[in-house]
A and B are shown apart, each in its own frame.
Chain A
Amino acid sequence: MRSYVGISGFAMIASTFLILFARSANQGHDAVVVLCAASLAGPVTELQEAFQSSKLNADGLSIDVLYRGSPELLALHRISGVGDLLIAADVHYHRVFVETEICDAPMPLGKQFPCLIFTSVSEKDALSILNHGGVTTSLPKPQHAAIGRAVAKIVGAQTYQRMLQNARVSRETVTQVATDVSNGVVDVGCAWTTTPRQFSNLKNVVPPHWDQYESQVGVSVFYASQKRAAANAFRKFCASPAGQNIFADHGFSAPTASAKNLASAPQK
Chain B
Amino acid sequence: MNRSNGPSANSDRRFDAVLIVAAVVFSTVLLALIGANVWVAGLDRIGVWETLKQTEIQQALWLSIGTSVYSTVISLWVGTAIAHLISQRQFWGCRFIDLLMDLPVFLPPLVIGISLLILFRQTPLVWFDEWFHIAFAVPAIIVAQTIVGTAFVYRTMKATFDQHAGRIEGIAETLGASRWQVFSRITLPASKQAIVASIAIAWARAFGEFGPVLVFAGSFRGRTEVLPVSIYLELNSGNVAGAAAISLLMILIAAIVLLLVRFTSRDRFTSRAGSPR
Contacts and interface: CB of A to CB of B under 8 A. Distances in A.
Given A42-B237, A199-B238, A19 B220 contact: no
A198 B242 CA distance: 14
B96 to A, nearest CB: 29
A223 to B, nearest CB: 17
B240 A173 contact: no
Interface in B129-161: 133, 135-138
A81 B237 CA distance: 26
B233 interface: yes
A19 B61 CA distance: 10
A238 interface: no
Contacts of A155: none
A267 interface: no
Interface residues of A, number: 41
A28 B222 CA distance: 10
A38 interface: yes
Given A22-B59, A198-B237, A81 B67 contact: no
A16 B66 contact: yes
B14 interface: no
Interface stretch (B2-10, B114-122, B246-254): B114-122
A18 B65 contact: yes
Contact of A15 (B61, B65, B135, B188): B65
B68 to A, nearest CB: 8
A15 B76 contact: no
Contacts of A67: 219, 233, 236
A123 interface: no
Contacts of B188: 1, 4
B236 A23 contact: no
A41 interface: yes
A12 B236 contact: no
Interface string B218-238: 111111000000000101111
Contact of A19 (B76, B135, B138, B237): B138
B240 A183 contact: yes
A16 B72 CA distance: 13
Contacts of B63: 18-19, 22-23
B61 to A, nearest CB: 8
B70 A16 contact: yes
A64 B236 contact: no
Contact of A18 (B62, B117, B137): B62
Contacts, number: 108
Interface in B234-266: 235-238, 240
A136 B257 CA distance: 42
B13 interface: no
Nearest to B181: A1
Interface in A13-29: 14-19, 21-24, 27-29
B135 A80 contact: yes
Interface string B27-69: 0000000000000000000000000000000011111011101
B73 interface: yes
Contact of B222 (A27, A38, A66, A183): A27
B69 A175 contact: no
Q: Which one of A11, A23, A28, A199 has the greatest number of beta carbons of chain B within 10 Å?
A: A23
B42 to A, nearest CB: 15
Given A11-B69, A22-B60, A80 B237 contact: no
A15 B59 contact: no
B136 A80 contact: yes
Interface in A25-60: 27-29, 31, 33, 38, 41-42, 45
Contact of A1 (B61, B137, B184): B184
Contacts of B118: 79
A138 to B, nearest CB: 13
B128 interface: no
A11 B73 contact: yes
A82 interface: yes
Nearest to A29: B133
Nearest to A20: B66
A18 B69 contact: yes
B240 A182 contact: yes
Interface of A: 1, 4, 8, 11-12, 14-19, 21-24, 27-29, 31, 33, 38, 41-42, 45, 64-67, 79-82, 173, 175-176, 178-179, 182-183, 198-199
Given A22-B60, A27-B223, 18 more contacts: A1-B185, A8-B73, A8-B76, A8-B77, A12-B70, A16-B66, A18-B65, A23-B222, A29-B133, A29-B137, A64-B221, A67-B233, A79-B118, A80-B121, A82-B218, A173-B236, A176-B236, A179-B240
18 contacts: A8-B76, A8-B77, A11-B72, A12-B69, A12-B70, A15-B65, A16-B70, A18-B69, A19-B62, A19-B63, A23-B222, A27-B222, A31-B223, A45-B221, A67-B236, A80-B117, A80-B122, A175-B235
Closest 6 CB pairs of A and B: A18-B66, A22-B62, A1-B184, A22-B63, A19-B66, A15-B69
